[in-house]
């Protein structure tokens, strides 16, 4: 499980969520589902709050995320009519403005799909990606601490 996912899960759910918290994972790969389940359980010791969060896997062919998620939410609404469903979405914020188009914008697509769904609250949690240290353009610094190649 990535550090980003764990950090966001802790921030988003630890203090803000009520007693019925479910993390939802949509995948087309049973191997990926098994790996995530194992990683989730492996985090219980260092992140005890995860033991109280149900991890729900949805197998969706062809990685159709939005229809699978909407179907799951419709099922929840049928089982608990009138309940408000809160969706917490992590949103990656790249270090540079020009990196924004390089990301898949999945959170934006999910927000758009949920915009007019009654009884649904969407919370966006920005996760700022750190800037990488800039490389010096000086050719001599590229070999600092090591021998220069022979010419």
pLDDT in tens, 72-91: 999 999 998 988 999 998 88
Q: Are the C-beta atoms of residues 77 and 119 closer than 8 Å to each other?
A: yes
Start-to-end Cα distance in the chain: 45
Q: Are 90 and 6 contacting, i.e. CB atoms less than 8 angstroms apart?
A: no
Domain borders along the chain are 3-132
Alpha-carbon distance of 50 to 60, in angstroms, equals: 24
- Mean pLDDT, consecutive 10-residue stretches, the chain (151 aa), reads 51 54 89 92 88 89 87 92 89 83 83 92 87 56 46 47
Cβ atoms 94, 102 nearer than 8 A: yes
- Residue 98 to residues 70, 93, 103, 105, 109: CA-CA distances in angstroms? 31, 11, 10, 14, 20
């Amino acid at each position: 499980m990535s550090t980003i996912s764990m950090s966001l899960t802790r921030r988003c759910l630890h203090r803000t969520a009520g007693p019925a918290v479910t993390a939802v994972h949509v995948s087309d790969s049973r191997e990926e589902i098994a790996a995530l389940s194992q990683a989730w359980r492996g985090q219980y010791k260092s992140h005890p709050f995860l033991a109280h969060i149900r991890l729900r896997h949805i197998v969706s062919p062809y990685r159709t995320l939005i229809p699978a998620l909407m179907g799951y939410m419709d099922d929840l609404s049928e089982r608990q009519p009138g309940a408000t469903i809160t969706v917490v979405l992590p949103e990656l914020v790249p270090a540079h403005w020009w990196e924004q188009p390089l990301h898949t914008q999945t959170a934006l697509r999910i927000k758009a799909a949920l915009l007019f769904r009654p009884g649904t609250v969407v919370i966006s949690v920005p996760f700022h990606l750190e800037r990488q240290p800039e490389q010096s353009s000086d050719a001599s610094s590229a070999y600092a601490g090591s021998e220069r190649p022979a010419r």
